[in-house]
Structure 1
Amino acid sequence: MPFGRRTTVVRGFVGRDELQAVKQHLFFEEHPLRSVDGGIVHAGCDPNPDIAEVRIRLKSGTHTDVDLLLLEHELAEHRYYQAHPGSTYTEAHAAAAKVADWASNREPPRRENYTWEN
């Protein structure tokens, strides 16, 4: 299942493969996160309602430019990990924010709901 309905060029995206990479990165891959004791643990991201709302809008075709900024941010983070093996989430996130700073631009929650198709 694609991340969103749009499969044509979206800003820096060249196609479905990059959208799938973003979906894998956000929802399935484990990331090197700093633990309480200062070490590194590999774990999935915690659920984020803001990202869930972006996904709802992408699937329903009602996405905004700021929603696309999230995709750009996550793709930049994914590419950072590829280019810098052994890097931490904090490093990848900071580098991605320089490319696409979604966190500073995200929209307030809309409390959206989506009727998923079977």
Structure 2
Amino acid sequence: MRTEAFDAMATGVWELAAAVWQEIELLLWKPPTEWFSVNAFYTSAGLRNWYVNFERPTCRTTEGFDTFDLTVDLVVDPDLTGWQWKDEDEYAHVRRLGIITDSHSDIRVPGGRDPITD
């Protein structure tokens, strides 16, 4: 389903849809000029994990705030002892489609490689 959404996004024709965040509480820290946010995901049992979301800097709009998710993320253990990349395949797909280009991102996954050019 997400791949289809990226394919539609690449055409430039898409619509914003309303959605409701469910089941997990989120604490988000987003420096407005940075290309990432740091998120803490909580369940009823406590901190589930940290999450580094790579995204464009935030821009204010008439509706609120706008940003653009760069697809690939880091999921970090609650105690900060380990981490793993998330959605490398989706990142490679949006790079192939040209939705994310070198001018948008300098993300290399994992071990410093670019999933498209390396």
Q: TM-score range by the shorter chain?
A: under 0.3
**Structure with greater strand share of residues:** 2
Higher relative contact order (CA 8 A, sep 6+): 1
Please say which structure displays the higher CA radius of gyration.
Answer: 2
**Structure with greater helix share of residues:** 1
